């Protein structure tokens, strides 16, 4: 599968979101990462349904909306995010009691269903969900804030999941989120990552040239 850079809008300029999105589009970005926080599951608040809806209204055809729910009991909002324009809806294993049925409900709502784990969560807890997941997201920082340092132990989780995927012929997308930058993105792609989320490494400084640098690395993986 092709490798993607998936910019996290958490680090975008919200006053100037329209222009930032245009820069992403002009540089060939096709997937955007939308971080939703509730102040409960993580100690922070961020964007939610209205912002996603507004982006969808104007640029819905330009991007796949990769929506990362860092919220308690995400099952309450499946329909709301579907209506807002989410294409992929990722929940946290730690945030709900019946992961399997939430993943099924997301698929029934015609979105791709993603499952994510926090850095302190044992990756093996995902075993029972892998056959139902369209995407598996490994958090490589403690969720809640952009600009943190990449947790190196995440690399082993990626290796574990990539092997599981190969051994069982699963076809979930493998995604990593947190502290990804130009210095480590190759390490995660080499371990099977398809979607590398990056917030501060994309939006800090010149967005266009940051993306171009990432694309040079992605180019090394093109057949
Ligand atoms: C953190 C979010 C991330 C965040 C990543 O809770 O899930 O998507 O925006 O930001 P960076 O790339 O700066 O670590
Ligand atoms: Zn995220």
Give the residue-averaged pLDDT of 192-198. 98
Give the residue-averaged pLDDT of 157-184. 98
For residue 223, name the pLDDT band (cuts at 50, 70, 90): confident
Q: What digits encode the pLDDT tens for the residues 82-93?
A: 999 999 999 999
Q: For residue 88, give its domain range.
A: 4-219
Domain count, the chain: 1
Catalytic residue check, 122: no
For residue 222, name the pLDDT band (cuts at 50, 70, 90): confident
Distances, alpha carbon 214 to alpha carbons 29, 100, 117, 130, in Å: 11, 35, 25, 29
CATH number at residue 107: 3.20.20.70
Residues 6+ apart with CB under 8 A from 197: 6, 7, 8, 33, 66, 68, 175, 176, 177, 178, 180
Does residue 207 have its Cβ closer than 6 Å to ligand 1? no
Which listed ligand is nearest to 182 at the C-alpha? 1
Give the residue-averaged pLDDT of 213-219. 98
Catalytic residue check, 167: no
Give the residue-averaged pLDDT of 196-211. 98
Does residue 96 have its Cβ closer than 6 Å to ligand 1? no
Q: What digits encode the pLDDT tens for the residues 14-59?
A: 999 999 999 999 999 999 999 999 999 999 999 999 999 999 999 9
Catalytic residue (one of 20, 87, 134, 177): 177
Within 10 Å of residue 51's Cβ, how many Cβ atoms?
A: 16
Within 10 Å of residue 191's Cβ, how many Cβ atoms?
A: 20
């Amino acid at each position: 599968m092709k490798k993607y850079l998936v910019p996290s809008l958490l680090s975008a300029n919200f006053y100037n979101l329209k222009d930032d999105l245009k820069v992403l589009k002009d540089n060939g970005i096709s997937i955007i990462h939308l971080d939703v926080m509730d102040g409960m599951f993580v100690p922070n608040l961020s964007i939610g349904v209205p912002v996603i809806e507004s982006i969808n209204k104007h640029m819905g055809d330009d991007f796949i909306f990769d929506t990362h729910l860092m919220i308690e009991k995400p099952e309450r909002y499946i329909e709301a995010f579907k209506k807002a324009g989410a294409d992929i809806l990722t929940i946290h294993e730690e945030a709900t009691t019946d992961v399997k049925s939430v993943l099924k409900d997301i698929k029934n709502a015609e979105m791709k269903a993603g499952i994510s784990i926090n850095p302190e969560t044992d990756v093996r807890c995902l075993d029972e969900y892998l056959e139902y997941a369209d995407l598996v997201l490994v958090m490589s920082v403690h969720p809640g804030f952009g600009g943190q340092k990449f947790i190196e132990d995440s690399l082993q989780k990626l290796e574990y999941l990539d092997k599981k995927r190969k051994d069982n012929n699963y076809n979930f997308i493998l995604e990593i989120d947190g502290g990804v930058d130009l210095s480590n993105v190759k390490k995660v792609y080499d371990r099977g990552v398809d979607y590398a989320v990056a917030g501060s490494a994309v939006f800090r400084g010149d967005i266009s040239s940051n993306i171009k640098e990432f694309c040079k690395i992605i180019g090394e993986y093109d057949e």
